[in-house]
């Protein structure tokens, strides 16, 4: 599982929901299933 290579830009604050993809990515971080996380990040 190469989760390390997936870096999340936490330095940049998001004042508003930029896009669906962004929201999906954020939601994927909270998912307990690593497969779901990878699936979302692949998109």
State pLDDT tens for residues 10-34. Answer: 665 555 555 766 777 777 666 666 6
Quote the distance between the C-alpha of residue 19 and its chain's center.
12
> Quick check: 6 and 14 in contact, CB under 8 A?
no
**Residue-level pLDDT at 7:** 63
**Residue-level pLDDT at 34:** 63
**Residue-level pLDDT at 24:** 72
For residue 1, is pLDDT > 60?
A: no
10 Å Cβ neighbour count for 26? Answer: 14
Global pTM value: 0.23
> Quick check: 39 and 4 in contact, CB under 8 A?
no
**Residue-level pLDDT at 22:** 72
What is d(CA 38, CA 15) in angstroms, rounded to the nearest whole number? Answer: 25
Q: Which residue from 14, 17, 23 is spatially nearest to 43, judged by alpha carbons?
A: 23
């Amino acid at each position: 599982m190469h989760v390390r290579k997936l870096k999340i830009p936490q330095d940049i604050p998001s004042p508003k929901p930029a896009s669906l993809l962004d929201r999906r990515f954020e939601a994927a971080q909270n998912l307990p299933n690593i497969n779901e996380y990878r699936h979302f990040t692949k998109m």
